[in-house]
Amino acid sequence: MKGSKILLTMLKEYDVEYVFGLPGETTLPLYVDWLEFRDVGHVMFRDERNACFAADGYARVSYKPGVCEAPSAGVAHILPAIVEAYASSLPMIAITTDTPLHLEKRNMLTGINQTALFTGITKETLTVLRSQDIPFTIRRAFRLATCGKPGPVHIRIPVNVLEEDVEVSDLYAQKEFTKYPGHRFTAEEDMIMKAVELLLSSEKPVIVCGQGVLYSQAWDEIIELAELLNIPVGTTITGKGSFPETHPLSIGVIGSRGGTSFSNEILKNAELVFYIGCNTDYAATNSWTLPPKDTKIIHLDISEAEVGNNLKTEVSLIGDAKTTLKLMIKILKTKIGKGTVRSRLIEELKEMKAMFEEKIAPHITSNEHPPNPIKIIKTLEKLLPKNHILTCDAGISAIYTAAFLKIKEAGRKILFNYSMGALGYAIPAAIGAYLAKPKSTIIALTGDGSFGFTVGEFETITRLNANVKIILFNNQSYGWIRASILFKYGPKYFETDFKNIDYTKIAEGFGLNTSKLEDPKEVERKLKELIKYEGPMLLEIPALPEDKLTPPVPSWIEEAKKIGIKFIY
């Protein structure tokens, strides 16, 4: 069996539905065998970076490692998406082909030290020197990607290895690693007991869920724990979906990316914070100012590198969120009845939430032009069907969705790439999400800044006839950068603005149905039309840049108040 056929057979053994990539000279032997191999699908993209982001979207929605591939000529193109996967702890298998390694120092066209490129941004980079080693390498890659703290693994296969014809007898998979988490382990029971005692004795505790809760699929346990103890629950921007935000105990997203005056005030006044599956990064803690330094901390995470890394902890719990919380709940049930504590705290929470919603209500009903992004997001929230998935680019799309769109059912409903926040994520991620969940309503929220990174994938969408909807906020600029400049250096803008472009005409050229919002009173009708349309469609919406209408970023809000710029927080 040739190396290329061995590779395809092993991917089939690992239940891989799709590989995202595009052809190149070093992948030709693989593609020739793929032509007759129907058990593993291939999705061609127009750019390797976008193919890798599609694998990211597929992985987040399917709970299977995303698999992407790139030829040697395009190997560097996937690096931005691999960096995001590594920073996000996302399971991914990145397969790159290469020129024969014995020619590596002889200036072979497209040859480069791929191992050096991927070292430091993957859990491991593996080079296959013999085709008979492919099964071993694939098993190792899937095991590494899905276990412990998950992440991307790189596999480098020279073209001559794909062409080798050898006997092979170990074409089998370790099936438990076809999905993530591959294996679950539980934190020490003695430490869980200490955490239980702290939770029971605290008068003002808060739970904060990071993306690890979604990876662990621990939302049922979060709901049960919160209701058992009457504890308010917030999430980070990437952990959004860990807890239903229509639940009376929800405070929504916290921190500097998606946090609001309401949620951050709750966190500020907490006596104890229980972080679950959260790396307590810059955004989640508002530059490590929330919660205050004297707040007691319990931290549960799969990674020993993250527990107590940024905040001093009273109790450190290292283990899988779902299994650890199951044991914690079991212990708690021997000590307390459901909903028997902290009724006063819950009443205060209810009052604060009502005051906050009253404060933002005028923004929702406003008919100002360009339309207020809250109006768009809250109308979208009202219209979304149950089986929806949103993908969001950094900027207006992500910050308003994180802060103001309420997730009604727990689970992975919204995809953010906010570990790195590179532009151009939402559209390819939406394609990956569509292939993982083709019966869901998939909506990509993007901006004109991201458009230039991903416009080629409009052809991919129409070629697949993917039922992907696109909302494009057009503020004719890199608006987030404009605000970052203004609030730190004053209005010293440089290279931030675009000329006026009609994005609907470009989308129509690729075969998408299109619409444009010109009257704020038409918001609901236009969004209904978008959601109900069967097939790919783009809706362009004008927007003010972030230096003209300040989104909920705490450090910006203080500056906006001083210089009299309208803000939402």
pLDDT at 477: 97
Burial of 476 from C-beta contacts in 10 A (0-12 / 13-18 / 19+): middle
> Where does 366-563 sit in CATH, by number?
3.40.50.970
**Residue 10 vs residues 89, 126, 159, 204, 318: alpha-carbon distances, Å:** 24, 16, 17, 52, 32
pLDDT at 153: 98
Question: What single-letter DSSP state applies at residue 158?
Answer: E
What is the CA angle 549-417-156, rounded to 5?
Answer: 150
pLDDT at 162: 98
Classify the C-alpha dihedral 171-175-180-184 as positive or negative: negative
**Are residues 132 and 2 in contact, defined by beta-carbon separation less than 8 angstroms?**
no
CATH superfamily of 189-347: TPP-binding domain (3.40.50.1220)
Q: Which CATH number fits domain 3-177: 2.60.40.10, 3.30.870.10, 3.40.50.970, 3.90.1560.10?
A: 3.40.50.970
Same fold, 3-177 and 366-563: yes
> Helix 373-383 to helix 343-365 angle, to the nearest 10 degrees?
110
Strand ranges across the sheet with 388-392: 414-416, 388-392, 441-447, 468-474, 537-542, 513-516
Q: Where are the domains of the chain?
A: 3-177, 189-347, 366-563
pLDDT at 531: 98
Comparing CA positions, the residue from 41, 59, 18, 46 lying closest to residue 460 is: 46
Q: What is the DSSP string of 360-422?
A: HHHHHH---SSPPHHHHHHHHHHH--SSEEEEE-TTHHHHHHHHHPPPSSSSS-EEE-TTT--
Burial of 192 from C-beta contacts in 10 A (0-12 / 13-18 / 19+): buried
Q: How far apart are CA 148 and CA 215, in angstroms?
A: 11
Q: How far apart are CA 20 and CA 125, in angstroms?
A: 19
pLDDT at 365: 93
**pLDDT tens sequence for the chain (569 residues):** 999 999 999 999 999 999 999 999 999 999 999 999 999 999 999 999 999 999 999 999 999 999 999 999 999 999 999 999 999 999 999 999 999 999 888 888 888 999 999 999 999 999 999 999 999 999 999 999 999 999 999 999 999 999 999 999 999 999 999 999 999 999 999 999 999 999 999 999 999 999 999 999 999 999 999 999 999 999 999 999 999 999 999 999 999 999 999 999 999 999 999 999 999 999 999 999 999 999 999 999 999 999 999 999 999 999 999 999 999 999 999 987 655 567 788 899 999 999 999 999 999 999 999 999 999 999 999 999 999 999 999 999 999 999 999 999 999 999 999 999 999 999 999 999 999 999 999 999 999 999 999 999 999 999 999 999 999 999 999 999 999 999 999 999 999 999 999 999 999 999 999 999 999 999 999 999 999 999 999 999 999 999 999 999 999 999 999 999 999 99
CB-facing half-sphere around the CA of 400: CA atoms within 13 A: 30
Q: How far apart are CA 272 and CA 286, in angstroms?
A: 17
pLDDT at 107: 87
Q: What are phi and psi of 42, to 5 degrees?
A: -125, 135
